[in-house]
Amino acid sequence: MDLKDKLNKLKGKRSTPSRVRPSASDTPPLFQRKVDGDHKIGDFILKEFKKLFPLYLPFFPSVLSSPEQMLFLDLETTSLSTGTGNMPFLVGTGFFEGEKFNVLQYLVPSPPLEMDVLVELLKLWKKKDVVITYNGKTFDIPLLKNRMVIYRLEGFEEKKHYDLYQLVKKMVKPANLHNVEREMLKLERPPGVEGGDIPRLYFEFLERGEIEILREVLERNLQDILSLPAILYRWVEKKNPLFFNDHQE
């Protein structure tokens, strides 16, 4: 079974519409999911983010006029450090596009193709004005900066950054992502791969070359990305609940 067949097999594992572009020998695989506005993330409906965006615009910088200018970002990496030995092997991104929420996941199928993934990320990075992460100020963004420097890639300029961990850590304790999802979104994830196992699974994938090894990692990263706009919305809602209650149906 070739890579295309293996990736197509993964499509049946989730009801979310998806399109997969298999990689050539010199092109990193791209997983693309276009998620409908009616998609539920716990008790949050994704289309509510865009529907009520004008109401919470005052919470965002003056350069931002629409949700389409936001880039939601989450990495899966080969370790938990930000040192030069740590590599982001899966770059997950999400952004609003018309009536859909578009999730792009760039996989590094082998370390020599890491720079190709970073180049693709840079193209998207330059199109957006605001980045949203979970714990990205201390992990994701410093790591990406280091990798860009290593490959002498330019254009990874500073953006207005909403680190949701920093925003919600006083509202929810403990403030790990899964507990925040539980408390703010009423989302209970089913049992799956644990964060500490992710680097091992990637190295196993490199050794065996079987994409199915990373299926649960891809699904976990997908859910991480989908949760970001929902948590951001709920943070604004909690900051000004009376304003929200007056405008919600």
Q: Domains of the chain by range and CATH?
A: 3-247 (3.30.420.10)
Q: How far is it, in rounded angstroms, from Cα 3 to Cα 31? A: 12
Q: Quick one: pLDDT band at residue 84, thresholds 50, 70, 90?
A: confident
Q: Examine residue 174 and say whether the peptide bond preceding it is cis (omega within 30 degrees of 0).
A: yes
Q: How far is it, in rounded angstroms, from Cα 2 to Cα 10? A: 13
pLDDT in the model for residue 12: 42
Q: How far is it, in rounded angstroms, from Cα 226 to Cα 33? A: 11
pTM to 2 decimals? 0.86
Range with the poorest average pLDDT among 16-25, 120-129, 152-161: 16-25
Look up residue 113 and give its amino acid. Answer: L
pLDDT in the model for residue 69: 94
pLDDT in the model for residue 225: 98
CB 41 within 8 A of CB 52: no
State the average pLDDT over residues 115-132. Answer: 96
Range with the poorest average pLDDT among 20-29, 171-180, 199-208, 232-241: 20-29
pLDDT in the model for residue 82: 65
Q: How far is it, in rounded angstroms, from Cα 154 to Cα 50? A: 32
pLDDT in the model for residue 7: 46
CB 163 within 8 A of CB 142: no
Q: How far is it, in rounded angstroms, from Cα 9 to Cα 248? A: 40
Range with the poorest average pLDDT among 1-5, 34-38, 164-168, 174-178: 1-5
pLDDT in the model for residue 81: 72
Give yes or no for residue 144 having a pLDDT over 80: yes
Closest CA to 133 of 7, 243, 229: 229
CB 181 within 8 A of CB 231: yes
Q: Which residue has the higher pLDDT, 241 or 94?
A: 94
Give the ranges where the chain is alpha helix by DSSP (H): 3-11, 47-51, 53-56, 114-125, 140-150, 164-168, 177-180, 198-208, 215-239, 241-247
Long-range CB contacts (within 8 A, 24+) of 180-189: 180/231, 181/42, 181/227, 181/231, 184/230, 184/231, 184/234, 184/235, 185/41, 185/42, 185/43, 185/44, 185/227, 185/230, 185/231, 185/234, 186/42, 186/43, 187/41, 187/42, 187/43, 187/227, 188/42, 189/223
pLDDT in the model for residue 249: 44
Q: How far is it, in rounded angstroms, from Cα 150 to Cα 107? A: 19
